[in-house]
Structure 1
Amino acid sequence: MPKSLNPKKICQACRLHFYGDELQDIAVLIDVAPSTLTRWKKTDIWINYEAKLIDEWHQQRLHLSGGSSKAQLTRSDLSICVRV
């Protein structure tokens, strides 16, 4: 395990977790130990990116609902480009 953090991988893992993937599955997919993901979840990179995902989700929901609370979002509705 490298000592330095890889922001791109952290954001990728955060995005997958936000969409509902389990940490075990994410660890296999991006080739890191599950304990690494647990540690990454505590970093500012993860916390800030997760906040951006949540904000974007709320904006999409408001836009799609047009004031209605019955809007349904899918994974493809929320497409955020990772720019690190």
Structure 2
Amino acid sequence: MANTPQAKKRIRRNDRRAEINGARVGRIRTFVKKLESALAAGDKDAATAAIAQVQPELARGVAKGVLHKNTASRKFSRLTKRVAALG
């Protein structure tokens, strides 16, 4: 257990940040799932619209520090390749 006031404060802060960061990651996953379902259905128009929403969400995740830059880049690249294959 934390003994110093600063350590106790860090525990409180880390709990708050974990909740916020979890919501951010969940939001990104939701947009990716929408794109995945459009890809599974073979709907080119819906997939194109969804990829336009996924890209800024991934970039925001990188900016906020919940995703590594290369992870977001890799995800976007692979998803873009799958959308292009529909056409």
Q: Give the TM-score normalised by structure 1.
A: 0.32
Q: Give the TM-score normalised by structure 2.
A: 0.31
Structure with more contact order per residue of length (Cα contacts < 8 Å, sep ≥ 6) = 1
Q: Whose Rg is larger?
A: 2
Kindly indicate which of the two structures has a greater share of residues assigned to helix: 2
